[in-house]
Amino acid sequence: PQQLVYEKLMEAHFDTDPLGRSVIGTAESIAAMTREQMLGYYESRYSPANLLLSVAGVVDFDRLCQEAERLFGHWRGAPVSTK
């Protein structure tokens, strides 16, 4: 409910400006997407070059680095698209 209220407020405030549009799209636009389109979008936007690993609390930093390398070290990703 909170997200719906937020989107309705943005729509009302920004009127026809693109900032007033829903970020996820309409039910129709989401239903029309193919797996290949979703995968292509993911691969063009999500890359190690634009992600951040954040950790809070008491951690063993060396072990954290080892685990991050084990879990994510193989991920090269594509260059990040700005379009």
HEC sequence for 24-36: CCCHHHHHCCCHH
Q: Is the pTM of the predicted complex or chain greater than 0.85?
A: no
- Other Cβ atoms less than 10 A from the Cβ of 20: the count is 15
pLDDT of residue 58: 96
Q: Cα separation of 74 and 83, whole Å?
A: 26
Confidence label for 81 from pLDDT (cuts 50, 70 and 90): low
pLDDT of residue 83: 61
Percent over 90 (pLDDT), the chain: 42
Closest by alpha carbon to 61, among 73, 49, 69?
69
Which pLDDT tens digit goes with each residue over 37-63? 998 888 888 878 778 899 999 999 999
